[in-house]
A and B are shown apart, each in its own frame.
Chain A
Amino acid sequence: MAVAQAAPASRRRFRSFELVLGVILTGGMTLAVLFSGFLFPDGGESMDLMARLLPPFENPAHLLGTDPLGRDVLARVIVGGRISLTVGVLSVMGAVVLGTLVGLVAGYYRGIAEIVLMRFADIQLALPFILIAIMFLAILGTGVDKVIFFMIVAQWVQYARLVRGSVLALRDREFILSARAIGVGNGRIIFQHILPNVLGPIVILMTLNVANNILLESSLTFLGLGVDPLIPSWGGMLADGRTYLQSAWWVSVFPGLAIMFTVLGLNLLGDWLRDYLDPTGQATK
């Protein structure tokens, strides 16, 4: 019995407090990072050993204080966003594209394609992450591009499995059958009818993984497998600051806040996007 009628599509889709806040947070962060070269030509590298561990909000030259080497925390947070955002966003996008394609093919065509692709995915899931990381980056060497490439290779499996599962549930639904009955070809069924219906869960996983990967980059860097440790990144700063947590909280709290706000912004955008993509307005289905 249809009791609650959904609000008209137009009103629902752009109502969104989520959209506004999400855009402000992610947009602001992106802009700051894009213009970081302008704002801080020194790249947050210049040290001032006389001004070590200055607390925040006291010195106008170091608004967010300084770190143990006397470097400006604000500058480093903004410059550090370059590595963190690049790694976080690009790695997730790469993994989404690769994983979704594999999942669509495996789930839709089944058969040999599915067996080969999914068993390959299972094998990869069975290997410990750090082990492959060490192996992989030891062979390739380090650098931002290698870190991103590695993360794509490590994470496409999640998307592939997620998408394949959704496709399996969808492919026998009646509207897919009825599209086939009309004479719609496989390609069009996959991209016009199945893909839009699996985007919801992908978007959720994506936003979660961006945060994850920002932190992952710092773990890799910490192990000496990631980016050059001298280049600032949020994860790296968090790791560096942890020994000073008792005496100088600002060294690690501000990069932490940067990660938090970015992730919050992305999550809000993701939620909005998921609702936007679903005309029925039933987020979970």
Chain B
Amino acid sequence: MDNPSSSQRHDAPLLSVRSLSVEFGSGSSPFRAVKDVSFDVQPGRTLAIVGESGSGKSVTSLAIMRLTDYTGGRIAGGEILFRPSTGPAIDLVDASDAKLREIRGKDIAMIFQEPMTSLNPVFTVGNQISEALSLHEGLNARDARLRARELLQKVRLPDADKLLDRYPHQLSGGMRQRVMIAMALACGPKLLIADEPTTALDVTIQAQILNIIRDLQAEMGTAVIFITHDMGVVAEMADDVVVMWKGEKVEQAPVREIFAAPKHPYTRALLSAVPRLGSLTGQPLPKRTPVTVMDGGVPKQTGTTHIQDTADYAKPILEVEKLTTRFDVGKTFFGRVTHRVHAVEEVSFDIYPGETLALVGESGSGKSTIGRTLQQLVEPTGGTVRFDGRDMNAMTPAERRRLRQQIQYIFQDPFASLDPRHTVGFSIAEPIVVHGLIKDRKAIERRVHELLEQVGLQPQHAKRYPHEFSGGQRQRICIARALASDPKLVIADESVSALDVSIQAQIVNLLMELQERRRLSYLFITHDMAVVEKISHRVAVLYLGQIVEIGTRQAVFENPQHSYTRKLLSAVPIADPQRERAKTRIEGEIPSPVRPVGQEPAIHRMREVEPGHWVAIESDQLRGAA
């Protein structure tokens, strides 16, 4: 299984991990998170460690920095040989604390997933970067500041001078991650460990960050260990790939080999589950495809190939017309509103029975606000919403309550959306109880069991608590709860975004299967273009609270008209290392939807490019026409 020779270069490896094992917990049966893992990192090259949650990939990266010491872990065996800039190779496993402190941040630097929580909120950006510089390089305050400014320019942050005095909360997620990269590179490390550095970011921002890491790596000759679950990112970034599964390394090979000829069954299963943009080209309807899942070490196919011809275009179930939702922010001392978030601006669309409409957009596009407004969690500022032909504005409070039975909502984070103090059976039964759908307790229990089975769980799970389930199971529970009240429309708000790809593929299939069985309509809110391609009949692209393009999935994906749609599609990392990397360079932040009172955004005018395919007229086109 262990075959490092295939990727061996002539020069000595910078980092050499040999038979590493990491344990958590104590007593008679400690939990072994990493089992006997070996790999080498060559200077200047990128090694991607891929795997799903629980595979031990993050623990491995923490162990290299010996940071597992602080998270309750213990290195149970093996060695981690590192060649620092000066002196002979050392084994990090039994290096002294003083030695480790010297190496951390100077020779080996790390970028974490969550840029907000890895920056200290009470220090300015400048202070945080300078800290590393004065610690390891012994620079004085002035020189450190100058270097910090240089670094910020290197990660292409505009206005570096002003940025030095800002606090983390004043920056966007993408900017914070750039600051993190600047900090990591401050002392010119020989090895950079990036643990899911772009997972929390929007696609266009992700594309920028990946570009920056790649450029800086080429410039500084840094070796990179890139931890990720995203095969698209792997294909774009990696030279070599290590695949981890349940704490073990199951495969290691150069990136092209992994994608072209995966050897281990798990690698094959993982790759088969990755949604690939463009896989449905030429296909007008969404399509269910079988998923390979690992069943006790053996790959097994589940599901069937099925064309999702469920939509009935006679009469829409939901009609949204000029929906506008704004939030007041920023008030003067006397309570007068100065700024508003223009979350949704005059958005119109219909959803038909049995149809999936995808709302795609990045943060601040208003996609979640639309869902929440429809679910009456947020009050709209204007516009009309008709459900089943009835105007929501004209409904009595009792009718509005009934609407919450017919429209259900599935949130992004299944753990956060289940009350930790109640059993999942209680949570699933709740919609039945509050709407008085079934009175008899025994009958409710039977119904809960039935629902659990429908989503692929077992009836006895009803008595357990949310924390006893895995992420995928929790999302199944949330789906069961959403189905409990027999809704007609389900709003799925990033419902599969937080899941591992193999789980994600299964949940997507489950949603499609349920759609067919129950003629459900879905409003599928997401930023993930590849999932959208698989599940949706029609797509609406949102940008800054307005729809810029709407049409059938085939029309929008194969013939994108608006420049933003094109940008979004080109930013998606493609799980194919043969493709040329980063053809287009994307720049620019996503603008803020916050505006001063009185400065309303202009409403786009739409034109129909083909039947049912509407595109916003862009300002340069307007000028061209004038």
Query: Chain A interface (Cβ within 8 Å of chain B)?
Result: 1-6, 9, 173-175, 177-185, 188, 192-193, 196-197, 277-280
Contact = CB atoms under 8 A, between A and B. Distances in A.
B434 A182 contact: yes
Given A183-B404, A183-B431, A185-B434, A6 B467 contact: yes
A180 B377 contact: yes
B524 interface: no
Interface in B452-495: 464-465, 467-468, 470, 478, 481, 485
A16 to B, nearest CB: 19
Q: Which of A1, A173, A174 has the most CB of B within 10 A?
A: A1
B58 A1 contact: yes
B24 A4 contact: yes
A241 B423 CA distance: 53
A120 B423 CA distance: 38
A3 to B, nearest CB: 5
Contacts of B481: 182
A1 B467 contact: no
B430 A9 contact: no
B431 A280 contact: no
A278 B421 contact: yes
Interface string B390-430: 00000000000100110011010100111111110000001
Contact of B411 (A9, A178, A196, A278): A178
B119 interface: no
Contact of A3 (B33, B430, B468): B33
Contacts of B464: 9
Contacts of A184: 430, 434
A179 B419 contact: yes
Contact of B465 (A179, A182, A192, A280): A280
23 contacts: A1-B53, A1-B59, A2-B53, A3-B73, A6-B468, A9-B465, A173-B416, A175-B417, A175-B418, A178-B409, A181-B377, A182-B404, A182-B485, A183-B401, A183-B405, A183-B431, A183-B485, A192-B419, A193-B419, A196-B419, A196-B421, A197-B421, A279-B421
B420 A280 contact: yes
A222 to B, nearest CB: 43
Q: Which of A2, A178, A184 has the most CB of B within 10 A?
A: A178
B498 to A, nearest CB: 12
A188 B427 CA distance: 13
B416 A181 contact: no
B313 interface: no
Given A181-B404, A183-B401, A2 B54 contact: yes
B306 interface: no
A182 B418 contact: no
Question: For the side of the interface on B, what is the size category?
Answer: 35 or more
A175 B72 CA distance: 29
Interface string B69-96: 0001100000000000000000000000
B310 interface: no
Interface of B: 24-25, 31, 33, 53-54, 58-59, 72-73, 375, 377, 401, 404-405, 408-409, 411, 413, 416-423, 430-431, 434-435, 464-465, 467-468, 470, 478, 481, 485
B467 to A, nearest CB: 5
B486 to A, nearest CB: 13
A196 B420 CA distance: 10
A181 B493 CA distance: 12
A14 to B, nearest CB: 16
Contact of A277 (B24, B59, B421, B467): B421
Contact of A181 (B33, B375, B470): B375
Contacts of B59: 1, 3
Contacts of A179: 419, 430
A173 B434 CA distance: 20
B430 to A, nearest CB: 6
Contacts of A174: 411, 413, 416-417
Contact of A175 (B33, B58, B409, B419): B419
A278 to B, nearest CB: 7
Contacts of A173: 416
A4 B405 contact: no
Contacts of B418: 175, 178
Contacts of B485: 182-183
A9 B408 CA distance: 30
A5 B435 CA distance: 36
Nearest to B463: A9
Contact of B435 (A2, A178, A183, A280): A183
A174 B53 CA distance: 22
B476 to A, nearest CB: 15
A193 B419 CA distance: 7
B420 A279 contact: yes
Contacts of B419: 175, 179, 192-193, 196-197
A249 to B, nearest CB: 44
Contacts of A182: 404, 408-409, 430-431, 434, 481, 485
Q: Which of A1, A6, A183 has the most CB of B within 10 A?
A: A183
A5 B29 CA distance: 12
Contacts of A9: 464-465, 468
Contacts of A197: 419-421
B129 to A, nearest CB: 28
Contacts of B401: 183
Nearest to A184: B434
Contacts of B405: 183
B417 A178 contact: yes
Contacts of B431: 182-183
Given A277-B421, A278-B421, A177 B411 contact: yes
B421 A177 contact: no
Given A1-B58, A177-B417, 4 more contacts: A4-B24, A9-B464, A178-B409, A178-B411
Nearest to A280: B467
Q: Which of B58, B401, B421 has the most CB of A within 10 A?
A: B421
B375 to A, nearest CB: 5
A183 B467 contact: no
Contacts of A178: 409, 411, 417-418, 478
B468 to A, nearest CB: 7
Contact of B377 (A1, A175, A177, A188): A177
